[in-house]
Chain A
Amino acid sequence: MLKNYFKIAWAVLQRRKFFTFISLFGISFTLMVLMVVTSLFDHVFGPQMPERGTDRLLFVNNLREEQGEGYSSSGPPSYYFLDRYVRRMQTPEKVSINSVFNPVNSYIHNKKLALDIKHTDQQFWEILDFHFLEGNPFGALEVKNASRVAVINQTTRKNYFGTGPALGQTIEVDQVKYRVIGVVEDVPVLRIQSYADVWVPITLKSQDFKDTGLRGGYFATIKARQAADIPKIKEEYARIIQQVSQLNPKEKKQVHSYPDTILESFARNFLGSGKEDKVGFLYTMLALAAFLFMLLPTINLVNINISRIMERASEIGVRKAFGASSNTIIGQFVVENVFLTLLGGLLGFLLSAGVLALINDSGIIIYAQLGLNLRVFAWGLFLCLVFGLISGVYPAFKMSRLHAVEALRGGSK
């Protein structure tokens, strides 16, 4: 029976080429946009190198201080705060303190290279899953001794050393010379917790350590022993923040800071003023946006489908006359429509692959390697099916209600 439905679906697609084009264009373009957005979302918030085990990772990248009379300020925490309070937490397996990345200049063969440098401890390399192409990360000894060693990314390696050897060579960044001990795969800029071009020991920035303010220019990366420990870590962190808030009761200072997943961090900082957890709200907004974005082409497809099916009223009449029930007719048209949307989805995939390749090549997002991985593919397939069902069920239901006699007359009712 399915074969017969596909034969009909294919013949109908070929019969009205303009309708088919409009339908397929609408479906494939909509899905392409949704797929690109999904891919971007996945790229920013999904588990990606070097932040792979996202179910066990938390990040502290913001601290908000509120005092009376509505005065508040927020920004990354200080090394002092993180070292004194966060590094000493009991529930996490490991805690790393690392600086925000800073833009610096470097010169090679009289050519300026704009690089981003990040200062990290050795735990940074133990927690995150960097892909080392050459050499190794720096360890506890290099951090303790404030050794001038650097791990660089593959693009910096290429710009500096071309095809020649890189390990053991010297690079000069911001007028400081470092010995290269490792080369890693490029990390996309949107992974702000781990991104940089050059990573050097945190102790080379020890002048920051003396500042006893709560805010500075540092992040903490926390790894849980197991995913189930995440709530316990958050509870312990909340107790720390409460303790910090009460250090000087006279100041009446309120401190807000949270260890968040990547998505929580984004939602809290952009939608929750650094305080409220807005992940639910973010998901609702995204779902609503996707729904509204799909609504217009869906309505369009419903209309096209109704006129397409109306033309086939006589066929519906014949099928009913020869034994098709109303449900069978609905099934047939839904199958046909899902076939059409899957075809549109396939085109959408191809278009998405093209657009993602263009984004990757354009360098709009530094070191971005957006792709259609299995997660994105599954989402795309799901969207196709939703699209196909929504736009196919109503016209099919409407037409299945047609009396066989009316249908045989050409669907005048």
Chain B
Amino acid sequence: MIQLQDIEKVYRTKTIETVALNRVNLHVERGEFVSIMGPSGCGKSTLLNIMGLLDEPTSGVVSIDGQPVKTHSDKQLAKLRNEKIGFVFQSYHLIHDLSVVDNVELPLLYRNISGGERRKRALAALEKVGLSTRTRHFPSQLSGGQRQRVAIARALAGAPEIILADEPTGNLDSVMGEEIMEILLRLNREEGTTIVMVTHDEHMAHKTNRLIRFFDGQQVADSLVLEAQI
């Protein structure tokens, strides 16, 4: 589904060179729920951004469904993100000026579908995360957990095959965090959505199928969770 080959990401300034990712090779299979763990600054989010085509590697090849994306134009990358990938961010990144349902419609705006159909699909996504009664609210009127559920509904609305979640429970208390995790697990289990989640939370990571650990831009462990627990 997602294949990373020899990925390097180097940030350069005039005086300093920082290696964020160092020769990373990773293959995420269709239907997997992968968690990525590691200390702050080890390159987890950079990796997720590269997987999500939001950032370009300094070297190496990113392939989605077997197709390398290196030569894709801005427009082609935008289309791939729109159709294949849904994002969930730690700080939600909802658009404050739009209502809940308008936020959820966002990925569908960039597809050639009618307003009525967009609204239908956005409401269905909100239903899945249990927020069908808050469609007309604005993000500022919701709790942190509710905002993250809106963000998940937005990621789901376009029915992507992949969801990339960057510390989705990081800003939430444990109860809210569990709720969000349950939604993601259900998506993976019932709809077969491939999920890659960056997390600091060992407990959450152990609920996923596969755990990859990073340290100083390098992949230091990659194991099935059941094996790890044994």
Contacts and interface: CB of A to CB of B under 8 A. Distances in A.
A37 interface: no
A30 interface: no
A11 B49 contact: no
Interface of A: 1, 3-4, 7-8, 11-12, 15, 314-315, 317-328, 403-405, 408
Contact of A322 (B87, B98, B102): B87
Contacts of B115: 3
Contact of B93 (A1, A317, A328): A317
A403 B46 CA distance: 13
B203 to A, nearest CB: 27
Given A322-B154, A328-B110, A8 B55 contact: no
B78 A328 contact: yes
A54 B222 CA distance: 85
A325 B74 contact: yes
Contacts of A327: 74-75
B75 A325 contact: yes
Contact of B87 (A8, A11, A314, A321): A321
A11 B77 CA distance: 29
B145 interface: no
A15 B97 contact: yes
A318 B89 CA distance: 10
A285 B158 CA distance: 55
A317 B54 CA distance: 9
Contacts of A3: 115
B52 interface: yes
Nearest to A329: B78
B82 interface: yes
Given A8-B98, A11-B98, A403 B55 contact: yes
Contacts of B98: 4, 7-8, 11
Contacts of A15: 97
A405 B89 contact: no
Given A314-B93, A408-B54, A408-B89, A322 B106 contact: yes
B97 A326 contact: no
A320 B93 CA distance: 12
A322 B82 contact: yes
A324 to B, nearest CB: 6
Interface residues on B, range: 20 to 34
Nearest to A321: B87
23 contacts: A1-B109, A4-B109, A11-B97, A12-B97, A314-B93, A317-B54, A317-B93, A319-B106, A320-B81, A321-B54, A321-B93, A323-B82, A323-B83, A323-B107, A324-B78, A325-B74, A325-B75, A403-B55, A405-B49, A405-B55, A408-B54, A408-B89, A408-B93
Given A4-B102, A4-B109, A323 B81 contact: yes
A323 B83 CA distance: 8
Interface in B152-198: 154, 158
A332 B54 CA distance: 20
A413 B148 CA distance: 27
A1 B110 CA distance: 8
Interface in B113-172: 115, 154, 158
Nearest to B49: A405
Contacts of B27: none
Interface in B61-87: 74-75, 77-79, 81-83, 86-87
Contact of A7 (B78, B89, B102): B102
Nearest to A10: B97
A15 B95 CA distance: 13
B8 interface: no
Contacts of B106: 318-319, 322
A41 to B, nearest CB: 41
Given A7-B102, A405-B54, A323 B93 contact: no
Contacts of B77: 325
Nearest to A332: B109
Given A15-B97, A403-B55, A408-B89, A325 B109 contact: no
Given A1-B109, A404-B55, 5 more contacts: A318-B94, A321-B93, A323-B78, A323-B109, A408-B93
Nearest to A315: B95
Contacts of B111: 323
A15 B89 CA distance: 24
